[in-house]
Chain A
Amino acid sequence: MVKAAAEEIAAQDFDSIVASHRPQIFRFLLASTRDVDLAETLTQDCFLKAHRNWSGFRGESSALTWLMRIAINLQKDHWRNRRLQFWRHARTNSVDLDEASDWLPSGERTVEQQLLAKEKVAQVWRAVENLSERQRSVFLLRYVEELELKEIAETTGMGEGTVKAHLSRALARVRKEFGNNREQD
């Protein structure tokens, strides 16, 4: 009886965790893959895995950090399997970079400003695409999820120094992309 009640409370807790963190996990996976279906699938897998291991979660890190760690691992597994299955599934559902940058809200910009801003966003996407898997994760956790360096270190299992180094390289790549574009203009 007591056990059943405890399980019900745990289930309710988990429901609230799903409700509050699902948008963040989905957003991170969407930005990482640029594939809506894949991001949805990996988000579901992430919460399924979290639910199975919920009793083992001791709250040493925040629930978000724990969930992000699961999401990153699932993503790694996915790409690893995909590399193995390359000849069977060469097709990708990722949207192209221009389409991804079309989602920028217009705000109070003029048409010209809006076009310029979209172009800059597309350049950031291009830079992100060329990052290594780790650099991309660190970059997105910092500039999309706005996690602190310490949280990124906990999530990725890297030291803070390593996280800073990856961020620095990622920013250098974005700057280079901006520079290349200026030269073309």
Chain B
Amino acid sequence: MNHWDENAMGIRSDEEERLEPELREALGNFKASVDAWSETMLSRPRQVKAPTRASWNSLTKWALGSLVFAGTVSGGIYENHRQQEAVKIEAARIEDHQRELAAQHPKDEEDLMAKVDSDVAREVPSALEPMASLMEESENTGN
């Protein structure tokens, strides 16, 4: 026997008052089965699951993995950047050197020419004077 059979539930709708005996009994049995199921489940020792810890574990693994990956990638990027900087510095150094050399080259040439001029402008040694006079003669004769 349950509440529905005893009509002890207090306020009911008109429709509930007219419930067929078969339906009324089925509803009572339905309640009894839910009660029994619920009581059994409540009184059983509850298994302690640790899904949170498991998820924290996997979270930690993911975090560590990401950290290692990020470290590797950023290390590679830093190394690449460092090498590029060294190449740039070396290139700049070579360029400066070449520019210095280029700037120095005309000065050397001028020095050389000045030296040649000065050598030419020097008086002919006495031993070569007969030859010098021959050169002057040939210039005068047009040869």
A residues near B, CB below 8 A?
22-23, 26-27, 30-31, 36, 39-40, 100-105, 117, 120-121, 123-125, 143-144, 146, 148-150, 164, 167-168, 171, 174-175, 178
Contacts and interface: CB of A to CB of B under 8 A. Distances in A.
Chain B facing A: main interface SS:
helix
A165 B30 CA distance: 21
B10 A104 contact: no
Contacts of A144: 30-31, 34-35
Interface residues of B, number: 31
User: Which 9 pairs show the lowest CB-CB distances between chains A and B?
Assistant: A103-B37, A27-B38, A104-B33, A120-B26, A124-B30, A103-B33, A103-B36, A31-B34, A164-B13
B42 interface: yes
Given A23-B38, A30-B37, A103-B37, A175 B30 contact: no
Nearest to A105: B36
A143 B11 contact: no
Contacts of A36: 41
A103 B42 contact: no
Interface string B7-35: 00111110110011011011101111111
Query: Which of B12, B33, B35 has its CB near the most chain A CB atoms (within 10 A)?
Result: B33
A100 B10 CA distance: 28
